[in-house]
Amino acid sequence: MSATFLLDGQPVSFEPGQTILEAARAAGRYIPHLCWHPDFPPHGSCKLCIVKVAGRHVSSCAMPAKEGWEVESDTPEMNGERRALLQMLFVEGNHFCPSCEKSGNCQLQALAYDLEMMTPRFNHFFPDRPVDASHPDVLLDFNRCIYCELCVRASRDKDGKGIFALTNRGIHKHLVVNAESGRLADTDFSADDMAANICPVGVILHKRVGFAVPIGQRTYDEAPIHLVAMRPEAAGDD
């Protein structure tokens, strides 16, 4: 028998073991997120799914739902914190949206629009990491990585290849390719791999398809991310 909690004052039913985010999605309620994916255990790295419960700020992707809880998500306080997190993600990488092939299909960009992020707020880091164009079908632009580890988890847990990894810590943290040369071409990576199609930003790009979809017809041109993410066909893509 399902129990309920309140999400922004509205009841949400949940089954034992469901997290706040899972229950909200099942009820058609959107909570912003970047690193969460239905095919993997909660990761909690991006913190965009932050909500307020009993006076505490918690990651809704990892917090089990509890009967009677009053959860705050779509409030000025929570959305303000999400904007600050987005601002940090933008300045920690090189996210120049007009020149990025992922523009219009990028979840980071779409969330910034959705949460009305108008300024960078923090100083840009301008990381200088090499672009790997060695693979015949896929380009890697490491400068845009947000460390969600979706490609790491997909390659390891779904593709059975372990192509990607994160190395170092803090400001020196970055994505690498698990090959002695560090080149994607020296792996058995395929453009059909789940890892090749899961990046929420513009790190992993398919060659020869850049800017093929006109502005106005791209995923988040037609509808904001809070609507796109709740479509049935998007359940495994966001």
Residue 76 lies in a domain: yes
CATH of the domain at 167: 3.30.70.20
Average pLDDT estimate for 119-144: 93
Q: How far from each other are the two terminal CA atoms of the chain, in whole angstroms?
A: 29
| pLDDT surpasses 90 at 237 | no
Residue 75 lies in a domain: yes
User: Which pLDDT belongs to residue 170?
Assistant: 84
**Count of domains for the chain:** 2
Give the DSSP per-residue string, the chain.
Answer: --EEEEETTEEEEE-TT-BHHHHHHHTT-----SS--TTS-----S-TTEEEETTEEEETTTSBP-TT-EEE-SSHHHHHHHHHHHHHHHHHTT--GGG-TTTTT-HHHHHHHHTT-----S--------EE--SSSEEEEGGG-----HHHHIIIIISS---EEEES-GGG-EEEESSTT--GGGS---TTSGGGG--SSSSEEETT-TT-SPTTSSHHHHS-HHHHTTSGGGTTT-
Q: Where is pLDDT greater, at 53 or 120?
A: 53
Q: What is the reported pTM?
A: 0.94
User: Which pLDDT belongs to residue 235?
Assistant: 55
Q: What percent of the chain has pLDDT over 90?
A: 89
Residue 87 lies in a domain: no
Domain holding 179, by residue range, is 102-234
Residues 118 and 214 in one domain: yes
Residues 30 and 138 in one domain: no
User: Which pLDDT belongs to residue 234?
Assistant: 63
Residues 183 and 152 in one domain: yes
pLDDT tens for each residue of 45-62: 999 999 999 999 999 999
Average pLDDT estimate for 74-90: 96
pLDDT tens for each residue of 169-186: 888 899 999 999 999 999
Residue 56 lies in a domain: yes
CATH of the domain at 58: 3.10.20.740
Residues 209 and 171 in one domain: yes
User: Which pLDDT belongs to residue 120?
Assistant: 83
Residues 138 and 72 in one domain: no
